[in-house]
Amino acid sequence: MIMASTTALNSGCNVGGAVVNRNPLFLRPPSSTLVKQSRRRSPKLRFTVRASETHADGPTKKLGLSDAECEAAVVAGTVPEAPPIPAKPAAPSGSPMVPSLPLSRRPRRNRKSPALRAAFQETTLSPANFVYPLFIHEGEDDTPIGAMPGCYRLGWRHGLLEEVSKARDVGVNSIVLFPKVPDALKSPTGDEAYNENGLVPRAIRLLKDKYPDLVIYTDVALDPYSSDGHDGIVREDGVIMNDETVHQLCKQAIAQARAGADVVSPSDMMDGRVGAIRAALDSEGFQHVSIMSYTAKYASSFYGPFRDALDSNPRFGDKKTYQMNPANYREALIETSEDEAEGADILLVKPGLPYLDIIRLLRDNSSLPIAAYQVSGEYSMIKAGGVLKMIDEERVMLESLMCLRRAGADIILTYFALQAARCLCDEKR
């Protein structure tokens, strides 16, 4: 049987117009024969098949040999030729000749090719990780926000629906709404915040009617509705009244839940507001509505463009009596413990990139989902750097978002949501 196979293998055939050995693998004689021949003369040039080579009539053709015939040849010592061992790449001229370092571990081995880097990548970034903050107003036209290139105050009946449609097309199905409220509707107690026919409840109902599966987050705070521009009710001596503000926030959260909000997000930083809102929602039958607490919201200078967008700058003073001191780290653990105990479903850190250590702190000390808010100042700096050609806007944008994910954020509130999602979709194509 082996003899018959050998005869068949040694018969000639025509490949690409030339007569060659019928062996499709271009089998060589046993190694002992090769050694003897190499002592007498240089080995003959062999025709070696490479996977990348093609001929005029297409890829190298199979010649119809059975598995048994191929195996018999190898057993007989007639081993198929394969491409030669690649030559070692030459070092540039002048490179020093040094002995190899005695390293048992070389981490660069796992980074040497795109395939390996992708296989061992620890953090991923997806449109599903994004929550898209959208500014809305009563007008019909979309108004550009000068300090935030690419962002607009969207008309709630038209522009809002169009922007949400664009986001959904690239996999972003979560948004958070921020209203610009007419000055005439603002008051010291922010009563417009819980008007069930106000701008935010109307927009929620419109969106849910058009996109029932859209995940809608809402902002729970009084600053867009306050004539003082603060997150709470201001006493005549300038003190922000905590418990009275929480009372208003509970009514605001109920109005948003009744309109169809999926997640209410108290950003006010009043003490005890998470527990009070949870109790208020449950008492009204909204046990299914989640709470994303702004757990570690710092009194940051990165919020400027946002406040301009909503015309919600404080009329006096600052917000340091209720927002956290940027110098503090351990204090975030106190806020985390309280919010968890009071029933928060998601914990948020704001701002994002300058506070990666706080994101990691919450990630390491809580099993709840962690959110990070890449705020307006972060967004505008990247945009400005891109316009001035000082940085590659797209690369820096994606890197900044990946860093927030790496630090421990499950979701990211970012004005880059649409732009970043489009980039990620293009990468997949």
117 close to 111: Cβ distance less than 8 angstroms: yes
Q: Give the residue-averaged pLDDT of 71-92.
A: 91
Domain 127-427: give its CATH code.
3.20.20.70
- Interval 123-135: pLDDT, tens: 999 999 999 999 9
Kindly report the CA angle at 111 between 92 and 361, in degrees rounded to 5?
135
Q: Please report the pLDDT score of residue 51 as a whole number.
A: 57
Residue 398 CA to residue 412 CA, distance in Å, equals 12
Q: Is the pLDDT of residue 69 over 80?
A: yes
Q: Give the residue-averaged pLDDT of 193-204.
A: 98
Strands 290-297 and 346-350: parallel
Residue where the block lists tokens 């962690």: 370
**More confident position, 282 or 229:** 282
Burial of 338 per CB tally in 10 Å (0-12, 13-18, 19+): middle
CA 406 to chain CA centroid, Å, is 10
- Interval 237-265: pLDDT, tens: 999 999 999 999 999 999 999 999 999 99
Q: Is the pLDDT of residue 173 over 50?
A: yes
Q: Please report the pLDDT score of residue 398 as a whole number.
A: 98
387 close to 412: Cβ distance less than 8 angstroms: no
Q: Please report the pLDDT score of residue 53 as a whole number.
A: 55
Q: What is the largest CA-CA distance in the chain?
A: 108
Residue 47 tokens, joined? 């025709």
Q: Is the pLDDT of residue 41 over 50?
A: no
Q: Which active-site residues does the annotation give?
A: 297, 350
Residue where the block lists tokens 């009514």: 251
Q: Give the residue-averaged pLDDT of 74-82.
A: 88
Q: Give the residue-averaged pLDDT of 186-208.
A: 98
* Range with the poorest average pLDDT among 196-205, 304-313, 354-363: 304-313
Q: Is the pLDDT of residue 105 over 90?
A: yes
Domain ranges of the chain: 127-427
Residue 168 CA to residue 243 CA, distance in Å, equals 39
Q: Is the pLDDT of residue 113 over 60?
A: yes
Residues 6+ apart with CB under 8 A from 76: 2, 6, 30
The identity of residue 195, as a single letter, is: N
Task: Tell me the percentage of the chain whose pLDDT exceeds 90.
Answer: 77
Q: Please report the pLDDT score of residue 49 as a whole number.
A: 52
Strands 215-220 and 263-266: parallel
Residues 6+ apart with CB under 8 A from 370: 346, 347, 348, 349, 359, 362, 363, 408, 409, 410
Mean pLDDT of the chain: 88
Q: Is the dihedral of CA 65, 71, 77, 83 positive or negative?
A: positive
Q: Please report the pLDDT score of residue 35 as a whole number.
A: 40
Q: Please report the pLDDT score of residue 50 as a whole number.
A: 57
Q: Please report the pLDDT score of residue 60 as a whole number.
A: 64
Q: Give the residue-averaged pLDDT of 7-21.
A: 40
Q: Is the pLDDT of residue 31 over 60?
A: no
**More confident position, 3 or 335:** 335
Q: Is the pLDDT of residue 266 over 80?
A: yes
